[in-house]
Amino acid sequence: MPPVIRIQNLVKTYLMGDIEVHALKGVNLTVEKGEYLAVMGASGSGKSTLMNLIGCLDHPTSGEYYLDGINVNELSRNRYADIRNQKIGFVFQGFNLLARTSALENVELPIFYDRVHNIKDPRAKALAALEKVGLADRMHHEPNQLSGGQQQRVAIARALVNNPSIVLADEPTGNLDSNTSIEVMEIFQKLNAQGITILMVTHENDISRYARRIVEMRDGLVIRDHPVNARRSAEEDLQALKAAAAESLS
């Protein structure tokens, strides 16, 4: 079985007028199925650029990118859109839910753009995804009626609904407080335990320790790539927090 992601010498150069911005200068990365990566690095090091390329939102300037063994750089724009729909689930820092649209309808959206499967009951499938993130009881709420953590869980349900090969999360906890962040990490760890491959960008060392492997970037290059030692369990951390809260109350 080929690796989920195989990237070779990936380069991305932005043109701002006459100035060339070298966002990625030759990144190599291989991710096997079932891995959970935390991508770290200073601001401007190229993390988001890398995620966008892996997520087929953008084309690289040069280099090769194989997703599930397919060289995606050679694909048409329509096939690119289909890959985003079928193989990629995005979770953004700003949630990116459609406003004035219920949680359930937000999660249904990727099903409507699915040209491969003819899903008879999109609602049931969306509801199942919402159940996975524990939000079935909020399905009729619109984004402005949900907390930040709840919105991010809706976004995760939307990312999962078409059973993607990878979930890409660019600073998923960036807009959340620490407790809510750990809740999101709990969901990610559960999904990863079920075999879903996750790539997550984060600035926080604490958060990166919920992953299995850390990739560090600087100036458009991967400078360190190592497994997480002393991996944390979000479930245990949450229980500990609850216990501490109960103690301080009594």
Partner 1 sequence: MRWQNTIKVSFRSILKNRMRSFLTSLGIIIGVAAVIIMVAIGEGAQKEIRDNIQTLGANLLMVFPAARNVGGVSQGWGSFNRLTMEDANVLERQARLVQGISPMIRVRAQVIGGGVNWSTTISGVSVSYLLIRDWGIAEGEFFTERDILSRNKVAVIGKTVADNLFPDQDPVGQRIRVNNTPMKIIGLLKEKGKDSRGQDQDDVLLSPSTTVLYRFRDGRFIDMIYASAVSPLMINAAQEEMGRILRDAHKINTGESDDFTVFNQSELIETLSATTRTLTLLLGAIAGVSLIVGGIGIMNIMLVSVTERTREIGIRMSIGARESDVMTQFLTEAVTLSMSGGLIGILVSLVGSRILTQMTQIKTLVNPSIVLVAVVFSAAVGIFFGFYPARKAAALHPIDALRYE
Query: In the set 3, 26, 34, 44, which binds ligand ATP (CB under 6 A)?
Result: 44
d(CA 105, CA 19): 42
Residue closer to partner 1 by CB (options 30, 61) is 61
User: CB nearest ligand ATP: which residue?
Assistant: 48
34 touches ligand ATP by CB under 6 A = no
48 touches Mg ion by CB under 5 A = yes
Out of Mg ion, partner 1, ligand ATP, none, which partner does residue 16 contact, by CB within 5 to 8 A per kind? ligand ATP
Sign of torsion over alpha carbons 98, 110, 181, 166: negative
Query: In the set 2, 8, 9, 21, which binds ligand ATP (CB under 6 A)?
Result: 21
d(CA 208, CA 201): 8
CA-to-CA separations, 161 to 15, 17, 119, 136, in angstroms, rounded: 36, 40, 11, 14
Kind of pairing between the strands at 36-41 and 213-218 = parallel
Residues ≥6 apart with Cβ < 8 Å to 108: 122, 123, 125, 126, 161
Out of ligand ATP, Mg ion, partner 1, none, which partner does residue 14 contact, by CB within 5 to 8 A per kind? ligand ATP
Out of partner 1, Mg ion, ligand ATP, none, which partner does residue 102 contact, by CB within 5 to 8 A per kind? none
Rg (CA), the chain: 18
Region of 14-22, 40-48, 153-161, 179-187 interacting with Mg ion (CB under 5 A): 40-48
* Residue ranges binding partner 1 (CB under 8 A): 52, 55, 57-58, 77-78, 81-82, 84-86, 90, 92, 96-100, 109-110, 112-114, 158, 162
Secondary structure element (H or E) that encloses residue 150, with its range:
helix 148-160
